[in-house]
Amino acid sequence: MKRNSVLAKIKNDLIDLSKPLDISISIKGDTSNVNAWYVGHPKIEPHQEGDFTGSVAAGASTNFNDIWFNPHAHGTHTECVGHITKGFHSINQNLDRYFFLAEVITIAPEKYQDDFVISRKQLQYALGNKKRDALIVRTLPNMREKLTRQYSNSNPPYFLEQAAEFLVAKGIKHLLVDLPSVDKEKDSGALLAHKAFWNFDGKLRKKATITEFIFVPNAVKDGKYYLNLQVAPFENDASPSRPVLYKIED
């Protein structure tokens, strides 16, 4: 065992907790922040009240910032079925486990009509007979500009309904993608992939989650990992999250 290793055993697999692979995108309070859904950029600014400005540089004893953001538009976030239901469902309540056996796959979205999509056939080929709780999908091309891309009105790639249905049949409970949505940007509210993944017209998959706006560096190879998926404890349909991968040690 290496001197600085912190080893943990999950079932029969060994992971090194000292070697996390963070696949989240942070939120910054300026126009360089990744963005979607036609909203302004996040704001992180000193609180103002009367003569008080919450900044040490401005003479305050502490930095005391107000933060404005939208979890769906401004960075890595994890959402539950409450994203598409009339009734309220909280990601903070529905996500009650945090370690999952996961598979990282890389897919080049294929042409479909006027769009680029991820299809059932592509997922079948990438997953084969593997049994996983979580699936992390990295799309090509995979450049660092994903960290700052402005997605509004760009018609990004998305998942076909049959692709989401396949993941449900495979037992995938947690889907993580490096796109702003699993559905088409403008689909008149159809949300076919979201609805299929959460079984909207049947017994809701309340414990299933979708995480969007991840970034998987090219140095992270395709294959089996353990995923630690944590969200900020907001009682909301979605919350900023930090998915972290751990390589399984040989």
CATH number at residue 190: 3.50.30.50
Question: Could you tell me which of 240, 206, 214, 239 has the C-alpha nearest to residue 104?
Answer: 214
Tokens, residue 13: 């697999």
Query: What Cα–Cα distance (Å) separates residue 204 from each residue in 40, 129, 145?
Result: 33, 25, 35
Q: Is the peptide bond before 141 cis (omega within 30 degrees of 0)?
A: yes
Q: Is residue 191 part of a domain?
A: yes
Q: What is the pLDDT along the chain (250 residues), one digit of tens a residue?
A: 556 789 999 988 999 999 999 999 999 999 999 999 999 999 999 999 999 999 999 999 999 999 999 999 999 999 999 999 999 999 999 999 999 999 999 999 999 999 999 999 999 999 999 999 999 999 999 999 999 999 999 999 999 999 999 999 999 999 999 999 999 999 999 999 999 999 999 999 999 999 999 999 999 999 999 999 999 999 999 999 999 999 999 8
Q: Is residue 219 part of a domain?
A: yes
Q: Is residue 60 part of a domain?
A: no
Domain carrying residue 141? 7-27+71-247
pTM here is 0.96
Half-sphere exposure for 149 (CA within 13 Å, toward CB): 19
Query: What Cα–Cα distance (Å) separates residue 226 from each residue in 19, 116, 143, 159, 177?
Result: 12, 29, 24, 24, 16
